[in-house]
Amino acid sequence: MRNEGIGSWPARRARKTPHRTALLYEGAATTYAALYERTTRLAHALRAAGVERGDRVAYLGANHPSFLESLFATGLLGAVFVPLNTRLAAPEITYQVADSGARLLLHSPAYAATAETVRAETMPITLLPTGGDAYEELLASSSPQPIDESVALDDTCIIMYTSGTTGRPKGAMLSHGNLTWNAVNVLIDHDLIAEEVALVSAPLFHTAGLNMLTLPVLLKGGTCVLVEAFDPGDTFDLIGRHGITFMFGVPAMFDRMTRHARWPVADLTSLRILTCGGSPVPTPLIATYQERGLTFLQGYGMTEAAPGVLFLDAEHAVSKAGTAGVPHFFSDVRVVRPDLTPVDTGETGEVIVSGPHVMRGYWDLPADTEVALRDGWFRSGDAARVDADGYVTIVDRIKDMIISGGENIYPAEVEQALLAHPDIVEAAVIGVPDDKWGEVPRAVVVAREGAAIDPDEVRARLVGRLAGYKIPKSVTAVAALPRTASGKLLKTRLRHEYGS
């Protein structure tokens, strides 16, 4: 094959394990042979619609087989896939479509109105509905003849927009090689097997759901069970029905499972791998799962690194709890001072990353790319410390650091202490102006269902656990914290709403 990229994966898998199940969706199974044929037919349909090498093809819809068919079909043509976050408002989606210059927008029937809005407000763009009768008729009428466009690992595969926690999101250009090497890292460090059955309830438009779960499992020849949205009760059903072995989620998803009535009696014996990301896993949540014989595999990553950077394996999940682990097999990580010299053990510095999984740059933003990528190293903007064994603890975003009376306060450290409170399920810490100290920390917390928060009691519990200047001077209880679709806190919105 001349195609070395992601688009060739269905063909390569079909010649090895054609009859194995690749995808399960609402009870319907798609074999690898069928995935290859459907992907090929869709690629012919996209070509007939005018899609050529280098063109951008956007996709708007919840988790569905057509998402992956569209990704692979786009890759077959040497075009570039642009997954869109379904939780964004129409103007935000319109911005990403216009910014990427997408020629065609594939969308599920549920987002037809949004797609029409996008078409009306951007340059002329072709709309192609997926997941319905018209889509099936399109595939049936398209050619099944193989396509072997020359695609190199260095060619751009995906433009994946960052969460946009500060200002406009930027499109990270991930090559076919970036995604391939990230998948290899996952295969090595997670010990994936061909019999893996993965539950894909995290959104595919997010880098973790797609690149840390789905693509590695498909590369290995396992089965991905696709569901449109996470629900704890449905999750228990799916684990039992399909013998789920591999799950990924953000801490809030796993916490919702523990608070479900079925948690104490649910059969979880098939589960082999639980990976968690998006934010640090609270220590009480780790203990709750360990009581059921389950251990979290935590990690650290970013869209720009496709996304895996650090990984904490099961062997060290307890002894190195609180750290993000060590670099993935084909990753290199340094923690450096502002002058890029390495920090000493225990000293706080910035995480920089290098490896074949690190992005090519930001779409149409050469100045931002030059700032972020220097001499092959991506500057993450995250603060971290390294212990004597080389394990890295992520402290916080450098820009989120609070300086109070000349002392540095990293919100993540305070948030972890707050989450040890039995009545707090979510916590965020921001800096607020103070006449004496310049700024002081404020905690914004979400109470466990049925509990009431006493700010003075919460603060009193932190005495002796944190230095006095780190203890929040105020505690605000809210119904929910603002988050992106990937589960990241929107600190900018928090500061706007609670930072005065």
Q: What is the pLDDT of residue 37?
A: 98
Residue range 86-110: mean pLDDT, rounded: 92
E strands present in 139-260: 156-161, 171-175, 197-200, 223-226, 246-249
Pick the range with the lowest mean pLDDT from 7-11, 239-243, 251-255.
Answer: 251-255
* Alpha-carbon span 86 to 198, nearest angstrom: 22
Residue range 72-76: mean pLDDT, rounded: 98
User: The tokens of 180 are what?
Assistant: 């391939």
**Degrees (nearest 5) of the Cα angle 375, 380, 381?**
120
Give, in words, the CATH class of 6-152.
Answer: alpha beta
User: The tokens of 403 are what?
Assistant: 């300086």
E strands present in 113-215: 126-129, 156-161, 171-175, 197-200
Provide the CATH topology of domain 401-498.
Answer: GMP Synthetase; Chain A, domain 3 (3.30.300)
Q: What is the pLDDT of residue 322?
A: 82
Do the two domains 6-152 and 185-397 of this chain adopt the same fold?
A: yes
Sequence spans of domains, the chain? 6-152, 185-397, 401-498
Q: What is the pLDDT of residue 373?
A: 96
Query: Which tens digits make up the pLDDT trace of 247-256?
Result: 999 887 898 9
User: The tokens of 45 are what?
Assistant: 């349909």
Q: What are the beta bridge partners of residue 335?
A: 351
Under the banding of pLDDT at 50, 70 and 90, the label for residue 8 is very high
Neighbours of 37 (CB within 10 A): 18
Q: What is the pLDDT of residue 89?
A: 81
On average, the pLDDT of the chain sits at: 93
* Alpha-carbon span 180 to 216, nearest angstrom: 8
- The dotted CATH code for 185-397 is 3.40.50.12780
Under the banding of pLDDT at 50, 70 and 90, the label for residue 408 is confident
Q: What are the beta bridge partners of residue 440?
A: 432
Output 410 or 276, whichever has higher pLDDT.
276
Q: What is the pLDDT of residue 251?
A: 83
Q: What is the pLDDT of residue 58?
A: 98
Query: Which tens digits make up the pLDDT trace of 445-481?
Result: 999 989 999 999 999 999 988 888 899 999 999 999 9
Q: What is the pLDDT of residue 307?
A: 95
Output 444 or 251, whichever has higher pLDDT.
444
Q: What is the pTM of this model?
A: 0.86
Percent of the chain scoring above 70 in pLDDT: 98
**Degrees (nearest 5) of the Cα angle 426, 429, 430?**
145
Upper half-sphere CA count for residue 167 (Cβ side, 13 Å): 2
Percent of the chain scoring above 90 in pLDDT: 76
Upper half-sphere CA count for residue 106 (Cβ side, 13 Å): 32
Q: What is the pLDDT of residue 170?
A: 93
Q: What is the pLDDT of residue 396?
A: 79
* Alpha-carbon span 47 to 359, nearest angstrom: 27
The percent helix, strand, coil of the chain (3-state, each to 5) is: 35, 25, 40
Residue range 485-498: mean pLDDT, rounded: 80
Residues contacting residue 39 through CB under 8 Å, at least 6 positions apart: 7, 10, 69, 72, 73, 76
Does residue 345 sit in helix, strand or coil? coil
Query: Which tens digits make up the pLDDT trace of 343-358?
Result: 999 999 999 999 999 9
Under the banding of pLDDT at 50, 70 and 90, the label for residue 3 is very high
Residues contacting residue 180 through CB under 8 Å, at least 6 positions apart: 5, 6, 153
Q: For tokens 């896993």, what's the residue?
A: 281
Under the banding of pLDDT at 50, 70 and 90, the label for residue 167 is low
Under the banding of pLDDT at 50, 70 and 90, the label for residue 165 is very low
* Alpha-carbon span 43 to 72, nearest angstrom: 8
Under the banding of pLDDT at 50, 70 and 90, the label for residue 19 is very high
Output 272 or 122, whichever has higher pLDDT.
272
* Alpha-carbon span 43 to 46, nearest angstrom: 5
Does residue 46 sit in helix, strand or coil? helix
pLDDT over threshold 90, residue 485: no
Closest to 493 measured CA to CA, from 270, 172, 11, 483 = 483
Pick the range with the lowest mean pLDDT from 104-118, 396-410, 459-473.
Answer: 396-410
* Alpha-carbon span 205 to 66, nearest angstrom: 12
